[in-house]
Amino acid sequence: MKQAARNARRQERVLGLAPTMGALHEGHFSLIREAKKQCAPVVVSIFVNPTQFGAGEDFSKYPRTDEADRRALENLGVDYLFAPAAEEIYPPGFCTSVNVEGLSERLEGKSRPGHFRGVTTVVLKLFEVVQPNLAFFGRKDAQQARILRQMASDLNLDTQLAVCPIVREPDGLALSSRNAYLKDDDRHAATALYRALDAMRLEIEAGERDTARLLGVIRGVMQAQPGAQLDYAEIVDADTFEPVMAMRKRCYALIAARIGGTRLIDNALIEVEGDLLRVTV
């Protein structure tokens, strides 16, 4: 992989990377299609990263569909599949990690201690191996994308991050590999995250600006859904990820919840243009 990357750089080609943990779905494919528009060659990595899973989380049962993933990537015309073994990424004696302080301790970081340290460490390793000009991530993991941007800036990396829109099922559920865990009874309940964000959007379009009231709308939808257990709902500044009382230029409404035994996240982007607010769910 490193030799292929060197060859691409020597030829002054624009190399793109879509890092994944496999169990590929249309959300991943949308990143790959965008990468193919901007880059050649395109690399997709598949690595279920053990260091971003906490105690009691789902590392051992995380969906792995390697052969189906490989066929899908061939059909999409991906140039390279980089699927290293865990021993290659974390050889014996490995003792280095990367942590973006502050941003990594909030929200997802608070609910999943150590999670983002695992993410930033493995992504930096992928960037060092693949040396991409552009790396493509989904907006569903908005906090992760913000942390990785900070890491790239702080460490003077050449890689630029491209954050692509959320891809949803027709009923609004954000695509995620973890959706495979949802049992039949949980499948409709899982749409509560989208319905809560969309209810907030309607309130904003009707003129509501008070974040406490908007969060009340989100929580009300979640509380009304049997089988849904809210972890957090927050409206935060898109740069600092600190809670806001008044909406600024860019904010995220973030939500995390357990649906049965499955933990899901979702968000809406709120952009302020003068007196107008545009909400993208």
Structure confidence by residue, pLDDT tens digits, 138-194: 999 999 999 999 999 999 999 999 999 999 999 999 999 999 999 988 999 999 999
For residue 25, indicate whether it is catalytic: no
Nearest CA to 232 out of 247, 259, 199, 254 is that of 254
Which three-class secondary structure state does DSSP give residue 225? coil
Task: Please give the share of the chain, as a percent, with pLDDT higher than 90.
Answer: 94
Domain edges within the chain: 2-164, 177-280
pLDDT band at 274 (very low <50, low <70, confident <90, very high): confident
CATH class, 177-280 region: alpha beta
Domains 2-164 and 177-280 share a fold: no
According to the model, what pLDDT value does residue 273 have?
84
Inform me whether the pLDDT recorded for 256 exceeds 90.
Answer: yes
pLDDT of 248 > 80? The answer is: no
Statement: residue 245 has pLDDT above 80: yes
Beta strands in the chain (DSSP E): 16-20, 42-46, 80-82, 134-138, 160-164, 228-237, 250-259, 262-273, 276-280
Share of the chain above pLDDT 70, in %: 100
pTM: 0.96
Please write the tens of the pLDDT for every residue from 103-138: 999 999 999 999 999 999 999 999 999 999 999 999
- pLDDT at position 267 is 98
Q: Tell me how far CA of residue 117 lies from CA of 67, 100, 257, in angstroms.
A: 29, 7, 22
From 3.40.710.10, 3.60.15.10, 3.40.50.620, 3.30.413.10, which CATH number describes the 2-164 domain? 3.40.50.620
Residue tagged active-site, from 25, 28, 115, 188: 28
pLDDT of residue 275: 79
